[in-house]
Amino acid sequence: MKKIHLEIIASIIFVFVSTFFVYKYLSGVGAFWDSQMFWSVILTLGLSVVSFGYYHQGSIVHKNKSAKGISTVLPFAAFTVQCILFVKGIYYHDWSLIIGAVLVNSGVVFSLYQIFKFRTK
């Protein structure tokens, strides 16, 4: 097995184990569950950063006039997930999911447009 595979496996194990312990701790903390507005703001800010990442990727493709080495799998997956979160946000009246989905998908669409624009040339 290559070193990269071991690093990937170690990363996955680290995230699962740490998430389990954090959830186990937070599941009994009422203040954590009662502060949803705070977490909605943090989620929206985090998804704004993701959106800027996609705009940045699209800008790099536009500047370099090449999409060589850029995969469309991740942007399409992100777009699909954000569409699901948008619908879920409407259903649960969660503005952070709605705004986050719109922000991220705007960046994803810009990035995909740039990728396809230069791949067809």
Domain map of the chain by residue range? 1-34, 36-119
Q: Which residue has the higher pLDDT, 87 or 121?
A: 87
Q: How many CB atoms lie within 10 A of CB 101?
A: 23
- Give the whole-angstrom CA distance, residue 107 versus residue 117: 15
pLDDT range class, residue 78, cuts 50, 70, 90? very high
Query: Identity (one letter) of the amino acid at 2?
Result: K
Asked if 75 contacts 54 with a C-beta cutoff of 8 angstroms, the reply is yes
Share of the chain above pLDDT 90, in %: 78
pLDDT range class, residue 27, cuts 50, 70, 90? confident
User: Terminal CA-to-CA distance of the chain, rounded, Å?
Assistant: 39
**What CATH number should be reported for the domain whose range is 36-119?**
1.20.1280.290
User: What pLDDT is recorded for position 14?
Assistant: 93
Distance, CA of 1 to chain centre = 29
